[in-house]
A and B are shown apart, each in its own frame.
Chain A
Amino acid sequence: MELNEQDRRLIAEIQGGLPLVPDPFEAVGHAVGMSEDEVIQRLQELLDAGIIKRLGVVVRHHELGYQANAMTVWNVPDDQVDAIARRMAATGLVSLCYRRPRRPGWPYNLFCMIHGKTRDEALNKIDTLWYMCGLKDIPYEVLFSTRRFKQRGARYVMARA
């Protein structure tokens, strides 16, 4: 799907958030020169095309009581990454799961984010993952976060918006 100038204006207009008014899409349309119907139709198309993954809220996990944020990294043989990652994703224990490149001194190629209300809860989830997904020969490390400096939604400064 090709993005046109109007799409870019629309994307830029709502990237900071949807207006908290009864007719948010009308308000957005007003700002970018589209009708409410046009905004609704185009946003649905952007959603269907996967350019917008979803609309909704993004929580700050810490504020919700999820104090333990464990980036868990695994060194999975290349030919097993897809199978293992799909098993991990299916457990419902991981919040995010990505394949990333190895680096010199950094052998890990599969990254999972695991949240818990406590470190023990997060570690228990990792143990469960380990059993459920047959990971006993897979080297891994758990990187707990100790401080969060910044957490906001990504903003894409659209060049021509």
Chain B
Amino acid sequence: MDSQDRAIINALQGGFPICDRPYARVAEGLGLSEDELIRRLEALLEAGTLSRFGPMYHAERMGGSLILTAMQVPSEDFERVAEQVNAMPEIAHNYEREHDLNMWFVVATGTPEEAEATLARIEAETGYPVYPMPKLKEYYVGLRLEA
């Protein structure tokens, strides 16, 4: 990743224009050609530096559901449970964290009913209880990291 990649990431964490030839417009501001910008975005996605390029939806306003969920899994069983949880397409991300509640993942579904079903399935498959911690209020969503 070089300084131009960093400039692209920093610029596109703030938004992307909705117009015709949007890449050309962004590229102009960065002193790149349209082709070069597209090629670099492809490479950053390919390399996994970017997890995605596109819309971030407001799950609840779409009728969907996004639920942070914790589990307490004994260390000897952790790998099995992680495999089972990660295999489900409804799981958006999953982290091991340093705490008694040591597994933290997000369940993302099109409807609240699907979220309930997914949580029930996780309990049934893994044999451990889940602790859903749905957001009650959002104060800040500014996940922007300087590249």
**B-contacting residues of A (Cβ < 8 Å)?**
1, 3, 11, 14-18, 20-26, 36, 40, 43-44, 47, 49-61, 63-64, 66, 69, 71, 81-82, 85-86, 88-89, 94-101, 103, 106, 111, 113, 115, 141, 143-159
B57 to chain A, nearest CB (A): 6
A residues in contact with B23, CB < 8 Å: 20, 22, 24
Name 28 A/B residue pairs within 8 A (Cβ), A-sorted.
A3-B62, A3-B63, A11-B57, A14-B55, A18-B53, A18-B55, A22-B21, A24-B23, A26-B20, A43-B18, A55-B55, A56-B16, A57-B12, A58-B50, A63-B48, A64-B49, A64-B147, A95-B143, A99-B136, A100-B68, A100-B136, A101-B134, A143-B104, A146-B98, A152-B92, A153-B52, A155-B89, A156-B64
Which of the residues B19, B64, B92, B93 comes within 8 Å of A40, measured between beta carbons?
A: B19
Which 6 A-B pairs have CB atoms at the shortest separation, nearest pair first? A154-B108, A89-B140, A55-B16, A97-B140, A85-B139, A99-B137
Decide if B145 is an interface residue (CB 8 Å cutoff).
yes
Of all chain B residues, the one with the shortest Cβ separation from A49 is: B61
Of all chain A residues, the one with the shortest Cβ separation from B56 is: A53
**Are B57 and A15 in contact, with the CB atoms below 8 A?**
yes
Seed contacts A11-B57, A53-B58, A159-B110; 13 additional CB < 8 Å A-B pairs:
A20-B38, A43-B18, A51-B58, A57-B13, A60-B48, A96-B140, A97-B140, A144-B98, A146-B96, A149-B95, A150-B105, A156-B62, A157-B109
A residues in contact with B94, CB < 8 Å: 148-150
Which of the residues A16, A23, A59 comes within 8 Å of B145, measured between beta carbons?
A: A59
B residues in contact with A113, CB < 8 Å: 143
Q: How far, in angstroms, from A25 to B106 measured CA to CA in the complex? A: 29
**Are B59 and A148 in contact, with the CB atoms below 8 A?**
no
A144 to chain B, nearest CB (A): 5
Tell me how many residue pairs across A and B have CB atoms closer than 8 Å.
Answer: 242
Which of the residues A17, A64, A71, A150 comes within 8 Å of B54, measured between beta carbons?
A: A17
Q: How far, in angstroms, from A54 to B85 measured CA to CA in the complex? A: 28
